[in-house]
Structure 1
Amino acid sequence: MNADLALQKAIYARLAGDVGLAALVAARIYDNVPGDAGFPHLALGENETRDWPGGTEHRLALHVFSRGGGRAEAKRVMGAVNAALHDASLTLEDHALVNLRFLDGTTRREADGITWRGTIRFRAVTEETGETT
């Protein structure tokens, strides 16, 4: 398995298993958001990978979508995501996580005027530990 997919699976598992986060988003954590998704929900967003000495550098984003009356709900979810992932010790298939760090977060109102989007970004470095599949 490549490092990017191994990291995505580990992050999804950590987020889905976090009781506090699951309570905030009613367990609505998606890689591919369905058209009828309720609010608030969390979506795996953009990611970039590049070679790094001895491994791979990853930059990834997660998006919170909220209609909870302002940006406060989005910020609560972003705080729970940060608590679950920043400096987390995750187990990856065929790779080791060297570090996973919070980079930044933003909130903004979407064009529909009622939805708030919070975006939280992280940087991770992974190293290969076994045969990749």
Structure 2
Amino acid sequence: MSHAGMVGSAGALGQALLAHLRGDALVRGVFGDVPRVLDEVGGAKPLYPYMVIARHEVVPAHGCEVQIEDHVIDLHIMTRWAGRNGAREAMGDVLSVLENADMSLEGHKLVWCYVAFSDVLSLRDGQTFKGVVRLKLRTTPLQ
């Protein structure tokens, strides 16, 4: 498969993940009616809390006549609300939305998606907490 095919699966998966998260009422309850669920953070940081796709790695894992890409996506949940417990609560809501994620990808099929890791970290300023959720996903192109 060409490099362009891998970029296509990453783009399709990123769009599907953002749409899935932004479309959920639980996520909107945490991150606002126009959810602050972003694919990147530009110069000025958004209002807290917000979530961003911090990393998206794609590794080809092709088999016999099967084209497969394995994805690792890190979500960062940034909050200054209710300390570590507030960050855990926000992360718990995100995890529940991702638990049985049924996402439709343009030109690709999502084979599986699971949470590989989650944690809450306190940042140096003492008031900001970062929830980290690592997803592992597998896609294959539609034939």
TM over 0.5: yes
**Kindly, what percent of the aligned residue pairs are identical?**
27
* Number of the residue aligned with 1:28: 36
CA contact (8 A) 1:57 1:124 kept: yes
CA distance, structure 1, for counterparts of residue 72 and residue 98 of structure 2: 13
Greater Cα radius of gyration, structure 1 or 2: 2
1:115 Cα deviation from its structure 2 partner: 0.4
* Number of the residue aligned with 2:83: 70
Over aligned residue pairs, what C-alpha RMSD do you find?
1.4
**What residue ranges of structure 1 are gaps of 5+ in the alignment?**
none
Q: Secondary structure at the match of 1:88?
A: coil
CA contact (8 A) 1:11 1:85 kept: no
CA contact (8 A) 1:62 1:119 kept: yes
CA contact (8 A) 1:87 1:99 kept: no
4+ runs deviating over 3 angstroms? none
Out of 56, 73, 97, the position equivalent to 1:47 is 56
* Number of the residue aligned with 1:118: 131
1:87 Cα deviation from its structure 2 partner: 3.6
More strand by share: 1
TM-score (norm 1): 0.91
1:36 Cα deviation from its structure 2 partner: 4.2
Match of 1:32, as an amino acid? E
TM-score (norm 2): 0.85
Out of 101, 107, 112, the position equivalent to 2:120 is 107
CA contact (8 A) 2:123 2:129 kept: yes
1:40 Cα deviation from its structure 2 partner: 0.9
